[in-house]
Structure 1
Amino acid sequence: MTPTENSSDSTHFGFREVRREEKAGLVRGVFDSVAGSYDLMNDLMSAGVHRLWKSAMIDWLMPQKGQHLLDVAGGTGDIAFRFLDRVGGEGHVTVLDINHAMLSVGQDRAIDQGRLHGLDWVNGDAQKLPLTDKSVDAYTIAFGIRNVTDIPLALREAYRVLKPGGRFLCLEFSKVEAPLLKQFYDFYSFKLLPEIGGIVAKDKASYQYLVESIRLFPDAENFAEMLREAGFGQVKYRLLSGGIAALHSGWRL
């Protein structure tokens, strides 16, 4: 049976249709390939604006001293380091990533920056979190949810591990609506970015996938509805940079 014969057996890997059980391995291969240049490529993909978006994410989270944050798909440490800086080191972050190579990059960065406390590095799956129920104060995921095979399952897992009153925040690419911006963004994404990836990361195909995965991710309102269906309350979102990205917030009430 081919993937197209039964939609429940198939999913998308970029614009390709693949068997659901294949996607995690394919995604892992992408990030194995680009881990060493991931932060540089984020700068190139967003013209450096991803740094402002991540700061906005932490601003909206409003971290408090003593909180335990679970940062999923956060292997390089970008969100974790910002969180710890905001609470003056008086907090704890569990950085979870399915990809060993990405975690290695983050651990090396932490050592280089002298960050020896307040961090756990866990190799794990967003769809089956190795944490107990109601065990973390906040859950963040930045540019990772679109790579998950079963997004509703990952959202239910996020809800499960949050304490009552806990906060979910997701930063992800979204849908550009303004016609002129969309025209430029499509040209940049499909024509230029894979070529840049081929030069900088020596991997054009992986960046072609990343561009395609952005286009297949739900728009902000549809993703907000997925959060509500997972059980979250007070669901809100903010569009960033004309809809290139969006911040999504929900609470376990």
Structure 2
Amino acid sequence: MGAPGRRGKVVGMSAQPVNHHADHPGFSGVVGATIGLELLLTGRPVARLAADLADVAPGDHVVDIGCGPGNAVRKAAHRGARATGVDPAPVMLRLARLVTRVGGIDWREGTAESVPLADGAATVWWSLATVHHWKDVAGGLREAHRVLAPGGRLLALERQVRPGAKGFASHGWTREQADAFAEHCREAGFTEARVTGHRAGLRNFWAVRALRA
């Protein structure tokens, strides 16, 4: 097995790291706004799945890393939680603010590796279809561990993809990559890391859940 580093762990000779699209340039301008609108229209089933898997309830503080236009952030708020959406793209945050009508939400510019929140601020931390874009998996999980209070719940969702998929079809995880991320979570000090498969809308997803010790 490869040693952990800035890229995700390689678990086999031909395996892709969990952040195999870390070189993605991000979202900005007209293209970013267009993608944001598409995510806004198609992201509700994933938001509902995330809130169900994380068992979001009143009293929680949910932090969404790579929140995009904020579907899952609003879902958490509608369930009575305080919610913070974090995204590196100003165009996504502008869209999120524009369409949000529910209270209890804060929007902040940041990345998985640099979250603008205090230690132990959150009870739920999730990253929905974004871990494969992270620049530094170990760094992102260190931040998750820092921001979550003891007993806090971590959730990562990624679209299920086939080994060897190319282009857009590769944006997600194989089962091997999901297992590798669960191992990363254990190495970062999380407990009870597990992988499960789920369906949201027309797509299948891998979920990795763990607890902050």
Give the TM-score taking structure 2 as reference length: 0.77
Partner amino acid for 1:237?
V
Following superposition of structure 1 onto structure 2, how do residues 184-199 of structure 1 map, counting pairs within 5 Å? none
Structure 2 gaps, min length 5: 9-21
Q: Is the 8 A contact 1:174 1:219 kept in 2?
A: no
Q: Is the 8 A contact 1:143 1:171 kept in 2?
A: yes
1:126 maps to: 112
Q: Is the 8 A contact 2:59 2:82 kept in 1?
A: yes
2:35 maps to: 38
Partner amino acid for 1:159?
H
Q: 1:105 to 1:243 in 2, by over 3 A?
A: closer
Deviation at residue 234 of structure 1 after TM alignment: 0.8
Q: 1:40 to 1:103 in 2, by over 3 A?
A: closer
Q: Is the 8 A contact 2:112 2:140 kept in 1?
A: yes
Deviation at residue 43 of structure 1 after TM alignment: 8.3
Deviation at residue 170 of structure 1 after TM alignment: 1.1
Deviation at residue 37 of structure 1 after TM alignment: 2.4
Q: Is the 8 A contact 1:53 1:240 kept in 2?
A: no
Following superposition of structure 1 onto structure 2, how do residues 67-146 of structure 1 map, counting pairs within 5 Å? 67-87=60-80, 91-110=81-100, 114-115=101-102, 117-146=103-132
Give the TM-score taking structure 1 as reference length: 0.66
Partner secondary structure for residue 153 of structure 2: strand
Following superposition of structure 1 onto structure 2, how do residues 144-159 of structure 1 map, counting pairs within 5 Å? 144-159=130-145
Work out which of the two has the higher radius of gyration on C-alpha atoms and give 1 or 2.
1
Which of 245, 248, 253 is the equivalent residue of 2:205?
245
Q: 1:31 to 1:226 in 2, by over 3 A?
A: farther
1:204 maps to: none
Which of 26, 31, 53 is the equivalent residue of 1:60?
53
2:11 maps to: none
Instruction: Considering fraction of residues, name the structure with more helix.
Output: 1
Q: Is the 8 A contact 2:128 2:157 kept in 1?
A: yes
Pairwise CA RMSD: 3.1
Q: 1:158 to 1:246 in 2, by over 3 A?
A: same
Q: 1:243 to 1:92 in 2, by over 3 A?
A: closer
2:17 maps to: none
Q: 1:226 to 1:174 in 2, by over 3 A?
A: farther
Per-residue Cα deviation, 1:28-48 (whole angstroms, up to 9, x for no partner): 3x454533222554489xxx5
Deviation at residue 78 of structure 1 after TM alignment: 0.7
Which of 174, 182, 185 is the equivalent residue of 2:160?
174
Partner secondary structure for residue 138 of structure 1: strand
Rounded Cα–Cα distance in structure 1 between residues aligned with 2:7 and 2:153: 32
Rounded Cα–Cα distance in structure 1 between residues aligned with 2:129 and 2:83: 18
1:220 maps to: 178
Deviates more, 1:168-177 or 1:234-243: 234-243
Per-residue Cα deviation, 1:150-196 (whole angstroms, up to 9, x for no partner): 1121011101110001011111123347xxxx9xxx5xxx6xxxxxx
